[in-house]
Amino acid sequence: MRKYQLKLNDREFSVHLRSLSAEEATLEINGKEYQLAISSVSEVIPEGALLSSAPAPVAAPASLAKSKSSGGSSGSVLAPIPGSIMEVYVQVGDKVKAGQPLFKMEAMKMENEINARLDGTVSVVSISAGDTVNQGDELLVITP
């Protein structure tokens, strides 16, 4: 995945993000591996962004589904890393709960299940099994 060279209080850290899912991350920090549980994920809205002016989500044709989202709505589910979609568990109209698995993707020879961050109804599904996606691609939209 990604490697970072960080400096904190004049101390250097080499951080390698080995895997990332909605529930956990595996990091190697200065050669030692750590498993982290992710208790919540929030989306940071840039100061001055107008949420009320965002257009309603519209299902994209499959040929456009892989284009990068320019930020996405709060219910957007973006690809956390480049990979291949193995299975899609939901379809448009399905009601989902936060933490519910949405799809499974393979990245760097690891299977990752991506879960819903919020309760709502699936309004857009832009992927199907076998699709290849890039980091940041909008894959699904959940309307609260």
DSSP state, 7? Answer: E
Structural domain contains residue 57 = no
What distance lies between CA 11 and its chain's CA centroid?
31
89 and 139 share one domain: yes
What whole-number distance in Å separates Cα of residue 80 and Cα of residue 42? 14
Domain that holds residue 126: 62-143
136 and 66 share one domain: yes
Q: What is the pLDDT of residue 1?
A: 64
Q: What is the pLDDT of residue 107?
A: 85
What total of structural domains would you count in the chain? 2
Structural domain contains residue 47 = no
31 and 72 share one domain: no
Q: What is the pLDDT of residue 58?
A: 45
Average pLDDT, the chain: 79
25 and 96 share one domain: no
108, with CB counted inside 10 A (0-12, 13-18, 19+), is exposed
Structural domain contains residue 42 = no
Q: What is the pLDDT of residue 112?
A: 86
Structural domain contains residue 46 = no
Q: How confident is the model at residue 21 (pLDDT cuts 50, 70, 90)?
A: confident
30 and 66 share one domain: no
What whole-number distance in Å separates Cα of residue 122 and Cα of residue 102? 10
What whole-number distance in Å separates Cα of residue 82 and Cα of residue 49? 27
Q: What is the pLDDT of residue 105?
A: 92
Structural domain contains residue 72 = yes
Rounded to an integer, the average pLDDT of 46-60 is: 49
pLDDT at 13 over 60: yes
Rounded to an integer, the average pLDDT of 116-131 is: 92
30 and 97 share one domain: no
Q: How confident is the model at residue 53 (pLDDT cuts 50, 70, 90)?
A: very low
What whole-number distance in Å separates Cα of residue 104 and Cα of residue 85? 6
- Full DSSP string of 42-84: -PPPPTT--GGGSPPP-PPPTTTTTSBPSS--TTEEE-SSSEE
Residue of higher predicted confidence among 111 and 42: 111
Structure tokens of 40? 């919540």
Structural domain contains residue 44 = no
